[in-house]
Every structure is written in structure tokens, then in C-alpha cells.
Amino acid sequence: MRNILSRNSIARIFALMLAAMFIATSATFTAAQSSSPQAAQDKSSPAQMMQMTGVTDKFVTVYGARIHYVEAGSGPVVILVHGLGADVSSWAMTIGPLSKKYRVIALDQIGFGKSDKPMLNYRVGTLVDFLDGFYKEMKIDRASLVGNSLGGWTVAAFALAHPEKVDRLVMVDAAGFKIAEGFDPRIAVWLNPATLADTKQILSLIFYNKQIFVNDATAAMMLTRRVQTNDGYTIQRFIDSIMRGEDVLDDRLSAIKQPTLIVWGREDGLTPIAMGERFKKEIPGSQLLVFDKCGHVPQIEKAADFNAAVMKFLGGETASK
């Protein structure tokens, strides 16, 4: 896949800007347990793993929609925000460690996971409004936000819209910049996969460890998850929104004043390290932390290091590997 993209710069640009929206679902987390040293001894499903760490499963109504979330721990609030096509299970390896010092909440964003999926014209602005509504319903005044991919875009946009409600910001392999003109239409298909072949293509962009994650078994699990979750409409609306250039972060990031940690996988095939460097350059005082031999989801491929770095940052220390 990397060779194909390197021969086609237009496809590369589109993949890097638009495909950044996509993140692995709980089906790929199952495979992650096979490759992660700390998860190798725990063969539980994401739901079982979260249950064992004291996570409670709940719903709240926001603007008439039932929003699913899980939470654990007590203390200052930390909200975890997943990416396109994902759900709370993206954070199954994160919630337990962070909940030792914080009240950790991970939500299924509107249109994803177990949350309601109304037929809206979804855009990042929609997610910002629903996150604000979630704050209000949960009676949260301030929180630190951690977002991956589309979630990273969402938390940055939220910090811009509601700076008084954000303590600290963690952006993980985030999307958010305007796409360039001209793109390979195959990428849009892979973002909303409907075949095993499409699914393997997007997996090859997400993960560094191709041997573990890019195979027929993992693709079958992920496609099954796509069907069961039934969020294809949501995903397509987001793709359409990105192509229209809505809610992009270009020329806006200098207004973010909260302490910001930017976390990146050096081998991310969706959002390259150059994008992480751009976020660092444009967000005043931000820190960039890069993990080697890691793709688009460091909270899975580098879980222990990721958790340790985020804990340091949330505690006011300089994050390090």
C-alpha cells in the first residue's frame, strides 16, 4: 500500500488529509491484544477488559439523542473522543490506567457505536455541539480532552469554540486540515469499506504492524463490526463534509491557549508526521511526542508508553516516552 501511494502523490495527499478521519474499531482492538506485550496476557474482549477495570456503562440524552458513554475513576475530568467509524472501545487500553487519578469518560459520538444515529448532515461542527451538550447534561464545567484522528479534530475545534471548558488538550494523530484539490477516489471508498478488500486497504494505512493487523481474519472481523454498528451513513456524511472543506482548522490554531500535547505514530499511513509537526508549529507552546514503529492509533500499538506520557502531561509534567 505504501508503494502504491508513493507512486501517486495525489492519492497520498488525499489519503493523508481525508483518510485521517478513520480509526480502527473494536474488532481491530482484538487483534491488537495479540501484538501488545502488556495485553498479551489478557485475551478479554474490549467490553470485558473495561468491566474488569471498574468501568460503568451508561446513556445520557443530548439534543434528543441517546448518547452512550463509559466512565471510571474520580478526580479531575478527562474525556476521551474517538475517531471516524470507531467507538469507546478505542480507549479500552487507556481508561483503566488514567482512571487511577482521574474521572475518565469515553463517549460514543453521535452517529457511532451504541449512540443514536439520526440522519443528520454530519460535520465536525455537529460533534462540537453534541460534546457541549454532553458537558451540560453531565454537569461538567471543565475537562481535559483527548482525541484521536477525527476525535483530535473535534477536541481542537471544541477548544476553539469553548476555551473556558477545556483544561488540557491531547491530540492523537489528528485530522483537521483542508484537503488539497485532486484526489484518488479509491481512498473515499476505503474510508467507508464495504468489501474485505477495501477493509484491508484501510487497515494497511492505519497500522504499522502489517503482519498482525492486515490479514483476512482481521478484515473479516472489522467488516462484521461495520455491519453490526450500522454507521455507514454517518461516515459518508463526514466524508462529504470534509470534501466541502467544512470546519477545517487552517489558520485558526493560534487561538488555542490551553497546554497541548500532540502525540503521533511515526509510521502513520494516514496522517504523516509532517501534519503533527504542523500542529506543533501552529499551536503556541504545544509539545510533539512521536512514537517509532507505530501507526495511526498509538493508544493501541504503544499503549503502555502512550498512557504513561498522557498521565505525565495531565499532571503538569513534560510528556516523554
Listed residue (135, 100, 113) closest to 46, CA to CA? 113
| Nearest by Cα to 10 from 187, 178, 177 | 187
Q: Tell me, what's the pLDDT at 290?
A: 98
What's the pLDDT score for residue 53?
60
With both helix axes pointing from N to C terminus, report the angle between 216-229 and 196-206 in degrees, rounded to the nearest 10: 100
List, for residues 106-154, the tens digit of each pLDDT value: 999 999 999 999 999 999 999 999 999 999 999 999 999 999 999 999 9
For the chain, how are helix, strand and coil distributed in percent, rounded to 5? 45, 15, 35
| pLDDT tens digits along 263-275 | 999 999 888 899 9
Q: What secondary structure does DSSP assign to 172-236, as a single string?
A: ES---SPPPS---HHHHHHHS--SHHHHHHHHHHH-S-HHHHSSHHHHHHHHHHHHHHT-HHHHH
Task: Report the pLDDT value the prediction gives residue 16, as an integer from 0 to 100.
Answer: 33
Cell of 158: 471544541
pLDDT value for 19? 34
CA dist 301 → 196, 207, 292 (Å): 22, 8, 10
The residues near 212 (Cβ < 8 Å, ≥ 6 apart) are 31, 32, 34, 35, 218
Contacting residues for 206 by C-beta, under 8 A, at least 6 apart: 22, 23, 24, 28, 213, 269, 270, 295, 296, 297
Dihedral of CA atoms 297, 109, 230, 219 in degrees, nearest 10, equals 0
**C-alpha cell of residue 155:** 477536541
Return per-residue pLDDT of the chain as tens, 321 residues.
Answer: 333 333 333 333 333 333 333 333 344 444 334 334 433 333 445 555 555 467 889 999 999 999 999 999 999 999 999 999 999 999 999 999 999 999 999 999 999 999 999 999 999 999 999 999 999 999 999 999 999 999 999 999 999 999 999 999 999 999 999 986 655 667 677 788 889 999 998 898 889 988 888 899 989 998 998 899 999 999 999 999 988 999 999 999 999 999 999 999 999 988 889 999 999 999 999 999 999 999 999 999 999 999 999 999 999 988 877
The conformational region for residue 124 under phi > 0 = left, psi -120 to 50 = alpha, else beta, is alpha
